Structure 1
Amino acid sequence: MTPAGRVLPARMDPLSPEVVADPYPTYARVRAAGPLCRFGPASWGVTRHRDVAALLRDRRLSNTFPEEDPQFRMAPDLSRDVFRRIIPTRDPDDHSRLHQQMVRAFSPGVARRSAQRIGALVDELLTPGCDTGRLDAVADLAFPVAASVVCELIGLPVARTRAEVWPRAAALGRAFTPFLPAADRPAADAALSWLRGYVREVLAERRADPDGDLLDRMLAVADPAEGVEEVVDNVVFLCFTGYETTMNMVCTGTVALARQPDEWRRLRADPSLAGTAAEEFVRFDAPIQYTARLALEPITVGERVIRPGRSVFLLLGCANHDEEVFADPGRVDIGRRPNPHVGFGGGVRGCLGAALARIEGAVIFDRLARRLAGLELAAPPEREPSALFRSYASIPLAVTPA
């Protein structure tokens, strides 16, 4: 019961078609109504930048959910196992062994050293489009760059990535979201089964070596109780998450530049803005819209107390449009400074590939500005419908070489 005179917070349904298509009008409504919104059964959404930024680093929130939690209706078989083992769903003390190795592989230093390789790959991928005047920003640019780079850093063969790994990784991605529709569960389980078998084949030819590449190092620090399965499941997770953020950021950016020709001309005139442009695209349409936590202790947000055991959804996309922090948040400004967005999360559970995504974004938008004189939509972009990810299936572009 609600006490007399006390108004319930606004409610939003993350699965409603209008929110999946464009969540930002709903975000504006719930953000204006208060710092919390009702998000689902026994769960709260945190709407404002100040609170989201603070709670991303709050140890009173856990990544580990009870297996019976109704918010996480994942694929019932293999997905439940892998969800229990992967680093993002484990608290820092539990995952430090593997986390240290993965942080090392995706460190800012490694990302910076990859810049030249990324630039050469982007140039190679842009050449056919410059010849034909047509380019799909998803299939011809964003995916092959992001997936090739992450597979190289992990130590997976790149040759099988496009035809075999990508479609299954995309299907698997749906298993890592709350509220998984029943119709998507069989495909997620089938994709996961294939990917686990594929990674096991790769690992069978590797050896535990604390001084080797990422796969060798992960084998060297694997939990004896879990064995190779712990490594398998975390590598499978990297197959998806390692490129998803970058791919979505590049897609959002190309659509924004095509729809806002003034910003495209600004980038063409000053390619040094490529880095701030990439940050702005992450803010404007966050690749991952929210991150889920479990309250371990009472947490006060505004005038309300979130009780232990409640699910807490930190609405990254909503916080990134907070008018108290970002001037004219619905407009893309490729030179926006400062830009304290939370699109990569934050704290110890922040996006593992944030440094790599920043380098990839800066290089890709720099090369677009230097290689192309014109960039326009050749047909309406096609979205991948998802409450969690802001991703595209296709972005047909008409391009003119410089």
Structure 2
Amino acid sequence: MTERLTPESEAEAAGIIARHFESGVPLALCGGNTRSGFGNPPVAEISLSSSALSGIVAYEPSEMVMTARAGTPLAEIEAALHKNGQFLAFEPMDHRGIMNTEGTPTIGGVFAANVSGPRRFALAGAARDHLLGARFVNGKGECIKAGGRVMKNVTGLDLARLMAGSHGTLGFLTEVTFKVLPAPKAAATIVVSDLTEDDAIALMAAAMALPLEVSGAAHLPYSVRSAFLSGALPGDSATCLRLEGLPESVAVRAEKLKDYASALGPVFERDGSDTKTLWREIRDVAPYAEKSLRPLWRVSVAPSEAARLVAALRLEAAVDALYDWQGGLIWMRMDGAPEAERVRALVKTHGGGHATLVRADPQARAAIPAFEPQAPAIAALSARIKQKLDPKGIFSPGKINTEEMAA
């Protein structure tokens, strides 16, 4: 990028976009720029950042709803919620480690990329499931308000949710309204050691079927296990199951889960700060936070197929992997080429899903579609939506990420 524009108001942003609509000069939209390098290289040489549109607009803890300008630092949001015993239940990850970027994560960027963490598969859902409303500027420079402060206000709600996961290709977010939840009073993690990847997937599925309200289920194979808790996790591998809630409830459920899992392997319990640190490291994919451009894939498949998919890929390529979302989310780092065709072919043969190339060298990013290629019907629908909101295609990279919209 040769120029970065940072409007200080929605009206200023609308004026900038209107001028680019007239000239046809593309813009790359961003927040704190912490996901720079994600996806295919942008074609725009000018970026438009929401970083100067900052501040909490409205927050009533009793209503569990907050409105904030899109450039508000995520840390500021979380600090305000923490004071009132509340949190963002969808647990947004910090991409700076795996993307080797700096900058400040923003709440607008979280929703624009539909950033969700380990609770996504269980109780919390995705970031978009917490988005009640949004203000944004479309590709013609028009200011649009969608949704409201309560779920019953459905006017425009789908349009607001459409913005989540669009990665700045449909509109420039200026303000978001979202629901928050009470933070759990206690948390503990039951760690089962020495399981194979197949056995770990089976255990996580069984644990989710028990009436224990597991809120996190991840498997850390031997190759990555030492990257967590400074190498303090025991055994050759670690299958991690998180429990949250009131202290008394967590204690009772933890004992039941340990009794169940003890027949499968050595069982340990982590609580307090250890659990908080462990799940932050899982959320942020700590083993692959490296100053490297080795290809990194984010693959979403049916949990039952996860270990089989990775095993099949290892027959042909050098790949490291860790499993989140009960196995439904696989982070895969390649030691050689991205092997995009093989990865996506295996996803199809193992029940379907999505494979996103999160990180790669510039040549690979330019040559390989970062997001899962769309089916013809979905591609046609995406094009119609894009045409309505950004008719001249000035928002780089100029395509909708329906993969993230569906995930």
TM-score scaled by structure 1? 0.24
TM-score (norm: length of structure 2): 0.24
